[in-house]
Amino acid sequence: MSDRTANIGVVGLAVMGANLARNLASREGNTVAVLNRSRGRTDALVSEHPEAGFVPAYSYEEFAASLAKPRTAIIMVQAGAATDATIDALVEVFEPGDIIVDGGNAYFPDTIRRERAVRETGINFVGAGISGGEEGALNGPSIMPGGSDESWVTLGPILKSIAAVAEGEPCVTHVGHDGAGHFVKMVHNGIEYADMQLIAEAYDLIRRGTGKSPAEIAEIFAEWNRGELESYLIEITAEVLRQNDAATGEPLVDVILDQAGAKGTGAWTVQTALSLGVPVSGIAEATFARSLSSHPEQREAARDLPGPSTATPVDDEIAFVEDVRQALYASKIVAYSQGFDEIRAGAAEYGWNIDLGAISKIWRGGCIIRAQFLNRIAEAYAEQPELPLLMAAPYFADALGRGQEAWRRVVVHATNAGIPAPAFSSSLAYYDGLRAERLPAALVQGQRDFFGAHTYRRVDRAGSFHTLWSGDR
Ligand code: ATR
């Protein structure tokens, strides 16, 4: 057993866990205990990084003994059964007041369940979303911890020491109790799906509309990255489009199979939104677009279905590219507005006190959706913390007002040319749906009352009404 005392421990030393442990060890004042189910990973990490001064442990007892109280351990193992097994093992050796952090990608209802179970023992359980992949874990992720206020007292300074820094502020905040952190991380991923799909649609529209090469389109994205769209995703899109395949010399994007994978966080975001009754249509379309791409047999079956009978040429390429840029920005505003709406609704449903402005700030660094744009969101919530709809805040309303004509032209072009732009068009339909003075929901209510006597409310009187339809028998 080691005679050194660590202030923080990491359990699970695959890539994410090892990088997080190295990040922790590199910060002044931290001594890091490390434990892995099989000892090989522990030995490899300790021997490859002598500078880190890790305190290796080979059993949970040894791990607990090497930690100063309150003991604080971050679990970085596979989500699901492995996480439950690790929590159970830590609960056996930890004491009341100690802190167990799950830094994996847990589904937030699991985190709520685990928090409740662990709390019974007097031990604190914190579900923390950690974004930024391997690179972020090593150099500074965006961290979204939930859990109790008590645990935040100990955990806050440690997490602040390893988080990314954006404009002088660490990208971590105590999101809210129990599952709040993993909930917010889930929605972050949903927004990421939408952001990526919108960029992909913009690329496709420009490529098919103008015939520009991927390398030429890379220059357009690089240019966009100097304006209001500036973000990590736009930056890497330019890099991806610039890349040629080493084997064939072709643009790499043309060699990559066009079937998008997913690990399920987008689907969770949409499933949760459906049960909360929050219309995250842009995120849903982005998630479905990945599913659609991954059905080659259906795509093959659909190949001969007719498309538009006439060509839709782009007359002015420069104007078209600018329209696409504006449509992208407008749709992006909608995607974020929908994501924040889901967080607002989740907070109301689960009793979390979530500061939406603080969330936008901790996404400015370390994570995949980091962007200048998030400052505008923070400003909107600073001005009006109870903002009912992000896209209606003055800055965004103004941007949508400036971009909406271009957005419509792009969606019309996509429709006429037979180019799928599900995220662009559903975002526009959401925008028009919310701003409509009257919606055909009135007709839907009439239909519901007709066939099921579900009743309706009236515009001119309070109460519930049922009509004796002539079809009634
Ligand atoms: P990555 O995708 O980076 O490889 P992962 O699959 O999310 O990481 O997690 C792998 C980690 O979970 C490993 O540390 C693994 O331990 P081993 O190195 O012994 O395989 C750990 N892990 C998986 N199942 C586990 C379990 N039931 N109990 C404890 N740790 C487990």
pLDDT digits (tens, 9 = 90+) for 89-109: 999 999 999 999 999 999 999
User: Does the C-beta of 13 come closer than 6 Å to ligand 1?
Assistant: yes
ipTM over 0.95: no
pLDDT in tens, 18-57: 999 999 999 999 999 999 999 999 999 999 999 999 999 9
Quote the DSSP letter at residue 66. T
Q: Give me the torsion for CA of 177, 178, 184, 186, rounded to 10°.
A: 180
Residue having the nearest C-alpha atom to atom 16 of ligand 1: 37
Residue 472: is its pLDDT beyond 70? no
Given pLDDT bands bounded at 50, 70 and 90, which one contains residue 1? very low
Q: How far, in Å, from the CA of 14 to the mean position of ligand 1?
A: 6
Ligand 1 atom with minimal separation from the 11 CA? 14
User: Does the C-beta of 14 come closer than 6 Å to ligand 1?
Assistant: yes
- Choose the residue to mutate in 59, 77, 90, 138 for probing ligand 1, maximizing ligand atoms within 8 Å of C-beta: 77
**Going by C-beta distance under 8 Å and a sequence separation of 6 or more, which residues neighbour residue 325?**
202, 224, 227, 229, 406
140 phi, psi to nearest 5 deg: 140, 100
Residue having the nearest C-alpha atom to atom 5 of ligand 1: 78
Question: What is the rounded distance in angstroms from the CA atom of residue 282 to the CA atom of residue 193?
Answer: 9
- Choose the residue to mutate in 78, 87, 90 for probing ligand 1, maximizing ligand atoms within 8 Å of C-beta: 78
C-alpha atoms less than 13 angstroms from C-alpha of 97 in its C-beta half-sphere? 4
334 phi, psi to nearest 5 deg: -65, -45
Question: What is the rounded distance in angstroms from the CA atom of residue 419 to the CA atom of residue 106?
Answer: 36
User: Does the C-beta of 259 come closer than 6 Å to ligand 1?
Assistant: no
Q: How far, in Å, from the CA of 136 to the mean position of ligand 1?
A: 19
For residue 8 the two structure tokens come to 């923080």
Average pLDDT, the chain: 97
Question: What is the rounded distance in angstroms from the CA atom of residue 107 to the CA atom of residue 277?
Answer: 19
In this prediction, residue 258 carries a pLDDT of 98
- Name the region of 401 (left: φ>0; alpha: ψ -120 to 50; beta: rest): alpha
User: Is the bond preceding residue 70 a cis peptide, omega within 30 degrees?
Assistant: yes
